[in-house]
Amino acid sequence: MNHTLKNKCALVTGGSRGIGAAIVKRLAQEGAHVALTYTSSQKRADETVKAAQAHGVKAIAIKADSADAGAVVAAVAQTVKEFGGIDILVNNAGVLVVGPLDAFSLADFDRTLAINVRAVFVATQAAVKHMQDGGRIINVGSCNAERMPFPGGGVYAMSKSALVGLVKGLARDLGGRGITINNVQPGPIDTEMNPASSEFAGMLRKQVLALPRYGRAEEVAGLVAYLAGPEAGYVTGASLTIDGGFNA
């Protein structure tokens, strides 16, 4: 690795497992000090922290539910306190609730928007107060912002589509400071919550994906690392899909 992020300070929400953990590890591999948030398993969070520290950087875990706006703001403040600043914010925490329209509860609707949309805005608003010019904000959205091929996913798709508009607008707000903000939109990725070995995955590989395989969390992390690095300084307001041709 070229350590393109050496001595940068990053916060990754929902960073204890899956795509989030892969992002934490990749940013650490590139030389960044990394804080991650988690909601339930401290063991998993500690394991990810240890893996990041193996690259010779500082890493910490912060328990914070992204549905709680106050906890999100506090996580940003703790990151700044521990590291002396924040250069990179990765809004990765998300929730997926699928269900038919006539049975979808308002509580699930509100929680989806609180985590997938409001927390992104809240964390971004808090982080930019501490960012130097040239900072990076990366949201982990979904290819479902552009295509929802099965019933029951309308609320989730809406929440991820909201991020597309958000980065377009905030790119204008932050461009004068050289701060970029972008979405990464994964397709089917092999994680515990969406394993490549499932029956559903088999259908996708045969009928939907241009590349007949699930993606790896490390591949998503690589795109995030690119957007966080110096070579992506002219990329902002964009939604970059990494989906094996799901939306092709």
Catalogue the active-site residues.
Answer: 156
pLDDT tens digits, one per residue of 15-55: 999 999 999 999 999 999 999 999 998 999 999 999 999 99
Name which of 127, 27, 144, 38 is nearest 87 in CA terms.
Answer: 127
Judge whether 105 lies within some domain: yes
Judge whether 2 lies within some domain: no
Judge whether 247 lies within some domain: no
The whole-chain average pLDDT of the chain stands at: 95
Can you give the CATH number for the domain in which 233 is found? 3.40.50.720
Judge whether 98 lies within some domain: yes
Per-residue model confidence (pLDDT) at position 202: 75
- Using alpha carbons, list the distances in angstroms from residue 200 to 79, 183, 195, 205: 38, 26, 9, 9
pLDDT at residue 200 above 80?
no
pLDDT at residue 178 above 80?
yes
Judge whether 75 lies within some domain: yes
Give me 76's structure tokens: 């940003």
Length of the chain: 248
Judge whether 162 lies within some domain: yes
Per-residue model confidence (pLDDT) at position 1: 58
Residues 87 and 7: their CA atoms lie apart, in Å, by 10
Q: Taken in order 232, 237, 243, 248, is the CA torsion positive or negative?
A: negative
Enclosing domain of residue 118:
9-242
- The count of domains in the chain is 1
Judge whether 248 lies within some domain: no
Please give the backbone phi and psi of residue 52, each rounded to the nearest 5 degrees, phi first: -70, -45
